[in-house]
Chain A
Amino acid sequence: MSEPVPITINVNGRKRSAMVEARLLLVHFLRESLNLTGTHVGCDTSQCGACTVLIDGHSAKSCTVFAVQADGAEVQTIEGLADGGELHPLQDGFWEEHGLQCGYCTPGMIMSAVNLLENNPAPSEAEIREGISGNLCRCTGYQHIVNAIQHAAERMAQS
């Protein structure tokens, strides 16, 4: 086992410093060290996207990033998405359109969708389906997730 490494990561707007094992995955740093358990682990091969967070504004699968690689970065998780008491339009869209059932894939799915809408504020249905194809959902058949993202896109366009 290697010597612990010092890291400092800005997580949801708050500076977090720790000594970590070099092999510690970012997702485990978030979940175990910071108790931010909204980010989930659904696989071990970067296929399912349940662990998706934003690193410096880009969606990334936090099970495939070592915590030390995120040293100095800004990380946003599902817990940091709502603005005070107000839900992010995507959170609201998922609620309004029944975009979730068991909820396990949902935080990762929402964080992927945040990135999708930042790159393409008015995506077509096909672009949404393509855009979330790095995230697996076993419950919904994706249709209500597509509706949820469309709902959010429309609301964000109005504001």
Chain B
Amino acid sequence: MTIADGPALPKLIGERVKRREDPRLIQGQATYVDDIKLPGMLHLAFKRSDIAHGVIKSIDTSAAAEMEGVELVITGAELAEHLGPMPIGTPFPAPDHFSVATDKVRYVGEPVAVVVAEDRYLARDAADAIEVEYEELPAVVDPEVAMEPGSATLHEGFERNIAVESYWGGTGVNPETAQPEDDSAVDAAFEEADVLVTQRMLNQRLAPNAMEPRGVVAQYETGREYLTVWSATQNPHILRTLVAAMMGLGEHQVRAVAPEVGGGFGCKINIYGEEYVAAALSRLAGAPVKWIEDRTEAFLTTTHGRDLLGYIDLAAKSDGTITGLKARIIADIGAYEVLLTAMIPTLTGLMMNGVYRLPVVRHELTEVFTNKTPTDAYRGAGRPEGLYFLERAVDMLARELDMDPAEIRRKNFVPADEFPFATQSGLVYDSGNYEPCLDKALEVADWQGMLAERDAARAEGRIVGVGLSFYVEVCGLGPSAVVPTGGWEHSGVTVERGGKVTATTGASPHGQGNETTFAQMLADHFSIPLEDITILHGDTSVVKQGIGTFGSRSQAVGGAALISAAGKAGDKMKQFAAALMTDQEVSPEDLVFEDGRIQVEGAPEVSKTFAEVADFAYVPVPLPPGMEPGVSEESFFEPENNTYPFGCHISMVEIDRETGEPRLLKMVAVDDCGNVINPLIVDGQVHGGLAQGIGQAMFEEVVYDEDGQPVTASFMDYVMPRAADLPAFELDNTVTPTPVNPLGAKGVGEAGTIGSTPCVVNAAVDALAPFGVTHIEMPLRPERLWRLIQENGGQS
């Protein structure tokens, strides 16, 4: 019998463990897709449309093709012989969409031809030398105009440019028939209301702007008939499935790799035309090819987010009780439906119940094609839009009734004893306890003190306002019934010789820190040092199966799969350990992992080291009856429901009377994402989300002119939040675990973007309320605010 020397191992779950990813990243040693070089690699450049809408009359590629070092020039029509229309991931009807336009262009930036050349600069020169002649068509820019009869249409078969129309209302959707029930109750609620709020609001179009642009390297091996694709993607397994289908290959012939990925924020979920084109042209050119997006291309062609117009009505009693909600949403989805385009705005209506008991809801959604870049997921993906509309409307109601914004929310909260709670939209909130979170936020922010500070500032002639929002969102996506790709996640756990552990996860990260949090979980599970664990991800030849990282699902679904696989591996380790201790008549059920040993609970003297048991597993002499050698287990985890984290955000905004420039003075976020594995990483997620949510409220907007020309196609025109634009955020949390996974973790990736946006706008409206302002469209541009001040003579 041996008892391993060594210190007791601290439990790591819940600790602020610094990240294991960082040493390579802070020394410039990580490998992003643009860092990959293969022998004989060629470079792609795309010729892109510079008009929003038109018919391609001719493409002259001769000058490009004659350039020395240019291997291949191919037009969309020619490429269509090799690549069919691109697949989408939603069940909605969609027009054909080719990787490279074949006959018509529908947005500025849509590719029309591709160059393959020896050198990146040369490829660009050659693309510039391609001449394209168009017959221009009228650009469709305003989604409301697009729906009018007589407007130009983008796609045959989609009258009035309408892609999707949906409607539900009354006392909710009948889950049996999926049909709206009698909705006369909605009209009745609005007729009987003491007070109504009505507002048209725009949740403007944004550019996700991961700092790493998209990029792809493809290598088709002729003879072996095997394709490898490296791509800056959030979901290499989905990439493998779709690129295989597009190339006429089986999944067994494709390896997809997400190397180091420099941020995603939803825009790297979609599988893009460039990925298919790179694969096809590698096969055609007989060489590996690389394409790296530049930032202007990113603004033009990487999917945008948001762009929902809402007509929102609330009905309430004079005591602040909300009695009904009507929402008519128009989504400007751009020129095509890509992977999840049509699904994203449906999440808006689903989540517009917010944290409130709403007796009746009517929801109408119309998704409209325009001559703009297609939209898809952007951090929050549908939820920020819905919660923005709702939390602005509730704030307007509070102002109308002269109620405290915290108290009107408290009055309408779903009570803690009503969970699980079925919403009007058919969701079932897993768990929630909203009042303690509100109270904590009010305390952390010193809400009463903030009100006094605001009033004192106003007395000095300053323009200051405070804002509050309370959100609930949907994370841990989700059951396979609601995720088009399948909603499970996969993990593998192998105990290696020497007692080291290698684990794989299909939750392919791009900044989330899964290599750290997942290792923390395994370290605690097996009671072994963090250094003895490696987490592998992002390569479909290493990670057998997976879905990917989006919808705040890494922990809630990926982590649950990991723990499930670890449980199986642990069981087998205990069986091997018991077999090594036959003289002591130990049963596997009596054993626990403790400080690098497998021991009888409470009896460390009856133990084997984790390492010696692992060694035995690979040379099992004698092999215990009924067992196979080795310890390598895997699990698929299918969640029974989504998770519904929530939180309260509070802010203070000052607006310069002379210039209209807004300044965020204070930002408090109290979030509840259930159990937390690593608070340091959770803080980082919240910080980043807040910056993006504040960015939408204050700075960011994709703008097109009346001809469909993008006005904001660089960082010179599109305002990104910078360090000096933001205050130090104040964070706290409450913990309401979810019952839908064994970790009790809900997910936190998107929380910050959801609460902060309405919170900051609410504060700006409060600041300008003395000027008679009740709503301000985002972003809070100085010019817009200055005009609002001037319209009231500059005096409050």
Whether B27 contacts A104 by the Cβ 8 Å rule is: no
Chain A min CB distance to B603 (Å): 39
Identify 17 new A-B residue pairs, CB closer than 8 A, beyond the known A43-B714, A141-B691. A45-B716, A47-B716, A79-B28, A87-B26, A94-B26, A96-B18, A102-B210, A103-B260, A104-B211, A104-B212, A130-B724, A138-B263, A138-B720, A139-B684, A143-B728, A144-B687, A145-B723
Chain A min CB distance to B510 (Å): 6
Distance of A88 Cα from B722 Cα, bound (Å): 25
B265 proximity list for chain A (CB < 8 A): 138
Which one of B29-37, B52-60, B140-148, B737-745 contacts A? Answer: B29-37
Distance of A105 Cα from B722 Cα, bound (Å): 13
Known A78-B27, A138-B720, A144-B684; judge A104-B32 contact (CB<8 A): yes
Chain A min CB distance to B440 (Å): 20
B690 lies within 8 A of chain A by Cβ: yes
B729 proximity list for chain A (CB < 8 A): 141, 143
Distance of A87 Cα from B18 Cα, bound (Å): 15
B296 lies within 8 A of chain A by Cβ: yes
B752 proximity list for chain A (CB < 8 A): 141
Chain A min CB distance to B39 (Å): 14
Can you list 25 residue pairs at the A/B interface with Cβ under 8 Å?
A31-B35, A37-B31, A40-B32, A42-B295, A44-B296, A44-B714, A47-B714, A47-B715, A48-B211, A78-B26, A78-B28, A94-B26, A95-B22, A98-B683, A102-B210, A102-B211, A102-B212, A106-B25, A106-B26, A136-B715, A138-B263, A139-B688, A140-B684, A140-B687, A140-B688
B680 lies within 8 A of chain A by Cβ: yes
Whether B723 contacts A142 by the Cβ 8 Å rule is: yes
Interface string of B281-299 (1 = CB under 8 A from A): 0000000000000111000
A38 lies within 8 A of chain B by Cβ: yes
Q: Which residue of A lies closest to B513 (CB)?
A: A101
B681 lies within 8 A of chain A by Cβ: yes
Whether B294 contacts A98 by the Cβ 8 Å rule is: no
Choose among A37, A104, A126 the residue with the greatest number of B CB atoms under 10 Å from its CB: A104
Chain A min CB distance to B516 (Å): 10
B511 lies within 8 A of chain A by Cβ: yes
Whether A128 contacts B723 by the Cβ 8 Å rule is: yes
Distance of A23 Cα from B125 Cα, bound (Å): 12
A58 lies within 8 A of chain B by Cβ: no
Interface string of B685-719 (1 = CB under 8 A from A): 00111111000000000000000000000111000
Q: Which residue of B lies closest to A111 (CB)?
A: B28
Whether A98 contacts B19 by the Cβ 8 Å rule is: yes
Whether B212 contacts A42 by the Cβ 8 Å rule is: yes
B721 proximity list for chain A (CB < 8 A): 141
B251 lies within 8 A of chain A by Cβ: no
Whether A98 contacts B680 by the Cβ 8 Å rule is: yes
B23 lies within 8 A of chain A by Cβ: yes
A contact face: mostly helix, strand, loop, or mixed: loop
A128 proximity list for chain B (CB < 8 A): 723
Distance of A95 Cα from B263 Cα, bound (Å): 18
B209 lies within 8 A of chain A by Cβ: yes
Known A44-B296, A138-B263, A139-B263; judge A37-B34 contact (CB<8 A): yes
B680 proximity list for chain A (CB < 8 A): 98
Q: Which residue of B lies closest to A142 (CB)?
A: B723
A77 lies within 8 A of chain B by Cβ: yes
Chain A min CB distance to B656 (Å): 17
Distance of A22 Cα from B444 Cα, bound (Å): 58
Whether A139 contacts B511 by the Cβ 8 Å rule is: yes
Choose among B21, B25, B294, B680 the residue with the greatest number of A CB atoms under 10 Å from its CB: B25
B261 lies within 8 A of chain A by Cβ: yes
Interface string of A27-46 (1 = CB under 8 A from B): 01001100111111111110
Whether A37 contacts B28 by the Cβ 8 Å rule is: yes
Distance of A52 Cα from B28 Cα, bound (Å): 12
Whether A45 contacts B715 by the Cβ 8 Å rule is: yes
B121 lies within 8 A of chain A by Cβ: yes
Chain A min CB distance to B685 (Å): 8
A interface, CB within 8 angstroms of B? 21, 23-24, 28, 31-32, 35-45, 47-48, 50, 77-79, 81-82, 87, 91, 94-96, 98, 100-107, 110, 125-126, 128-130, 132-133, 135-146
A24 proximity list for chain B (CB < 8 A): 121
B688 proximity list for chain A (CB < 8 A): 101, 138-141
Distance of A132 Cα from B681 Cα, bound (Å): 22
Whether A77 contacts B28 by the Cβ 8 Å rule is: yes
Whether A141 contacts B726 by the Cβ 8 Å rule is: yes
Choose among B21, B26, B715 the residue with the greatest number of A CB atoms under 10 Å from its CB: B26
B426 lies within 8 A of chain A by Cβ: no
Whether A129 contacts B724 by the Cβ 8 Å rule is: yes
Interface residues of B in 556-606 (CB under 8 A from A): none
B contact face: mostly helix, strand, loop, or mixed: loop
A141 proximity list for chain B (CB < 8 A): 687-692, 721, 726, 729, 752
Whether A143 contacts B30 by the Cβ 8 Å rule is: no
Distance of A116 Cα from B726 Cα, bound (Å): 19
Distance of A133 Cα from B18 Cα, bound (Å): 25
Chain A min CB distance to B552 (Å): 14
From the candidates A28, A31, A103, name the one contacting B30 in the complex (CB within 8 A): A103
A126 proximity list for chain B (CB < 8 A): 724
From the candidates A94, A95, A101, name the one contacting B511 in the complex (CB within 8 A): A101
Whether A101 contacts B512 by the Cβ 8 Å rule is: yes
B213 lies within 8 A of chain A by Cβ: yes
B726 proximity list for chain A (CB < 8 A): 129, 141-143
A82 proximity list for chain B (CB < 8 A): 27
Distance of A102 Cα from B213 Cα, bound (Å): 12
Chain B min CB distance to A75 (Å): 13
B262 lies within 8 A of chain A by Cβ: yes
Distance of A24 Cα from B37 Cα, bound (Å): 18
Whether A43 contacts B723 by the Cβ 8 Å rule is: no
Whether A37 contacts B35 by the Cβ 8 Å rule is: yes
B714 proximity list for chain A (CB < 8 A): 43-45, 47
Chain B min CB distance to A81 (Å): 8
A146 proximity list for chain B (CB < 8 A): 723, 728
The 5 residue pairs across chains A and B that have the minimum distance between CB atoms = A38-B28, A104-B262, A103-B25, A102-B511, A47-B715
A81 proximity list for chain B (CB < 8 A): 27
Whether A136 contacts B720 by the Cβ 8 Å rule is: yes
Whether B213 contacts A95 by the Cβ 8 Å rule is: no
Distance of A39 Cα from B235 Cα, bound (Å): 25
Whether A138 contacts B18 by the Cβ 8 Å rule is: no
Q: Which residue of B lies closest to A25 (CB)?
A: B121
Known A94-B22, A103-B25, A103-B262; judge A43-B684 contact (CB<8 A): no
Whether B28 contacts A36 by the Cβ 8 Å rule is: yes
From the candidates B25, B34, B683, name the one contacting A100 in the complex (CB within 8 A): B25
From the candidates A95, A102, A125, A136, name the one contacting B26 in the complex (CB within 8 A): A95
Chain A min CB distance to B782 (Å): 17
Whether B724 contacts A95 by the Cβ 8 Å rule is: no
Whether B263 contacts A98 by the Cβ 8 Å rule is: no
Chain B min CB distance to A62 (Å): 13
A98 proximity list for chain B (CB < 8 A): 18-19, 680-681, 683-684
A47 proximity list for chain B (CB < 8 A): 714-716, 720
A87 proximity list for chain B (CB < 8 A): 26-27
From the candidates B29, B37, B262, B723, name the one contacting A129 in the complex (CB within 8 A): B723
A129 proximity list for chain B (CB < 8 A): 723-724, 726
Whether A136 contacts B722 by the Cβ 8 Å rule is: yes
Distance of A136 Cα from B19 Cα, bound (Å): 21
Whether A138 contacts B23 by the Cβ 8 Å rule is: no
Q: Which residue of A lies closest to B262 (CB)?
A: A104
A91 proximity list for chain B (CB < 8 A): 26-27
Interface string of B333-363 (1 = CB under 8 A from A): 0000000000000000000000000000000
Distance of A15 Cα from B202 Cα, bound (Å): 56
From the candidates A21, A130, A136, A143, name the one contacting B211 in the complex (CB within 8 A): A136
